[in-house]
Amino acid sequence: MKTTLLLVEDHHLVRQGIHALLKEPPEMEVVGEAADGRTALQLAGECHPDVVIMDISIPKLNGI
């Protein structure tokens, strides 16, 4: 069974890099990406990820 991940990072290039690293292990699957807190909350409700990897400083809600 794969561990599902949601990535939340407002810098597109950083988010792409993290996604590239996390798609390599076959036991992990990135199920969503968001650039702000509101979108992250919406995606978390839709995707129900096992793990959320979130930047602390993001627009429209902080990462804490």
Backbone phi and psi for residue 30, each to the nearest 5 degrees, phi listed first: -80, 115
Q: What is the pLDDT of residues 12-64, one digit of tens each?
A: 999 999 999 998 889 999 999 999 999 999 999 999 999 999 988 888 877 67
Predicted confidence at residue 21, as pLDDT, reads: 94
- The CA distance from 58 to 63, in Å, is 6
Q: Which residue has the tokens 């798609």?
A: 23
Predicted confidence at residue 62, as pLDDT, reads: 74
Q: Model-level pTM?
A: 0.87
Predicted confidence at residue 61, as pLDDT, reads: 79
